[in-house]
C-alpha cells in the first residue's frame, strides 16, 4: 500500500472518530463530505514533496476534529446571536455555591484519607481479603464516577474526558473532586422553554 493510501486511511479514521461528536442524523453525511476532500489534498501537485501533502492531510483531519468539537459546543442549528444551552443561564456553569461544594469535597476527601490511615494503623497485619476489599471499593468508586460522567448530559468546567482522566488518575480524590465540583446535578431551567432550538442537541 502506498504512503498516500496509508495516510488517507489514517485521516479517514480520524474524521470518522471526530464525526461521532455530531448528532446521529448528520454523522454519516459529514464524514463522507470531509473524507471526499482527502484525495484532493493528497493529489494536490502544488504542494511538494509528497510528505508535505501527507502532513497537510493530517492537519486537515485535525481541523475536522476541531470543527466537530465547535459544532457540538455551539449546538448546531442554533441561530446566530443565540448562545448555547450551556451559556444562556438555563443551567449556570458556575454555581453560586461553588465554595461550599469545594469545602464539602475537601472534607470528604480528608475523611477518606484519615480513615485509611487509621485503618492501616489499627490493622497492621494486612490480609489478602482486606486488600481485595480495598481494591474492590476503589474500582467500584471509579466505575461509579465514570458511569456518572458518561450518563451526564453535561459536566462543569472541563470536558468529560478530562474529568474521566482525573477520576482515574487519583482514586478517590479525583472522583470526589468530580462529584463535588464537576457534577452538574439536576437541570434547573430558569424559565421553562427558554432553551434555544440548539439545546435539543444535548438531551
Partner 1 sequence: MKLTGPLERVLRVFLADVSARRYGYDLMKAAKLPSGTLYPMLARLEDEGMVTAEWEPLPGDGSGRPPRKYYQLTAEGVRAARLELAQAPVPARRVRRGTAQPTPGGAQ
Instruction: Please choose, from the candidates 187, 160, 145, 162, the residue with its C-alpha nearest in 3D space to the C-alpha of residue 72.
Output: 160
Provide, rounded to whole angstroms, the least separation between the CB of residue 71 and partner 1.
6
CB closer to partner 1, 62 vs 108:
62
Cβ atoms of 82 and 153 closer than 8 Å? no
Nearer to partner 1, 9 or 188 (CB): 9
CB of 50 to partner 1, least distance (A): 16
Give the nearer residue to partner 1 in terms of CB position, either 37 or 148.
37
Smallest gap from Cβ 162 to partner 1, in A, equals: 20
**Assigned C-alpha cell, 165:** 482522566
- Identify which of residues 2 and 191 has a Cβ nearer to partner 1 in the complex: 2
Contact between 108 and 101 under an 8 Å Cβ cutoff? The reply is no
Q: Which three cell numbers stand for residue 69?
A: 468539537
Q: Which is nearer to partner 1, 52 or 66 (CB)?
A: 66
CA angle 154, 156, 161 (to 5 degrees): 70
Q: How far is the CB of 4 from partner 1 (least distance, A)?
A: 13
Question: Footprint of partner 1 on this chain (CB under 8 A)?
Answer: 32-37, 39-41, 44, 59-60, 62-67, 70-71, 74, 76-80
Euclidean distance between CA atoms 101 and 177, whole angstroms: 9
Return the residue matching grid coordinates 461544594: 101
Instruction: Work out how close the CB of 35 gets to partner 1 at its nearest, in angstroms, rounded to a whole number.
Output: 7
Q: To the nearest whole angstrom, how small is the minimum distance from the Cβ of residue 180 to partner 1?
A: 34
- Burial grade of 167 (CB within 10 A; 0-12, 13-18, 19 or more): buried
Backbone angles phi, psi at 201, to 5 degrees: -65, -35
Q: Which three cell numbers stand for residue 4?
A: 498516500
* Identity of the residue, 72 or 183, whose beta carbon is nearer to partner 1 in the bound complex: 72
Amino acid at each position: 500500500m502506498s504512503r498516500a493510501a496509508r495516510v488517507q486511511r489514517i485521516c479517514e479514521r480520524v474524521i470518522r472518530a471526530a464525526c461521532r461528536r455530531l448528532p446521529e442524523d448528520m454523522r454519516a453525511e459529514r464524514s463522507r463530505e470531509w473524507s471526499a476532500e482527502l484525495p484532493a489534498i493528497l493529489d494536490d501537485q502544488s504542494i511538494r514533496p509528497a510528505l508535505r501533502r501527507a502532513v497537510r492531510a493530517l492537519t486537515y483531519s485535525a481541523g475536522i476534529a476541531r470543527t466537530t468539537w465547535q459544532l457540538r459546543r455551539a449546538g448546531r442549528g442554533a441561530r446566530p446571536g443565540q448562545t448555547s444551552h450551556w451559556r444562556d443561564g438555563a443551567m449556570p456553569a458556575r454555581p453560586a455555591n461553588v465554595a461550599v461544594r469545594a469545602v464539602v469535597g475537601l472534607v470528604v476527601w480528608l475523611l477518606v484519607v484519615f480513615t485509611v490511615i487509621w485503618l492501616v494503623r489499627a490493622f497492621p497485619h494486612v490480609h489478602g481479603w482486606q486488600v481485595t476489599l480495598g481494591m474492590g471499593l476503589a474500582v467500584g468508586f471509579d466505575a461509579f464516577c465514570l458511569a456518572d460522567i458518561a450518563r451526564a448530559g453535561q459536566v462543569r468546567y472541563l470536558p468529560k474526558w478530562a474529568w474521566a482522566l482525573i477520576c482515574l488518575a487519583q482514586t478517590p480524590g479525583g472522583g470526589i473532586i468530580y462529584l463535588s465540583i464537576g457534577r452538574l446535578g439536576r437541570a434547573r431551567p430558569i424559565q421553562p422553554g427558554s432553551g434555544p432550538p440548539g439545546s435539543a442537541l444535548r438531551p
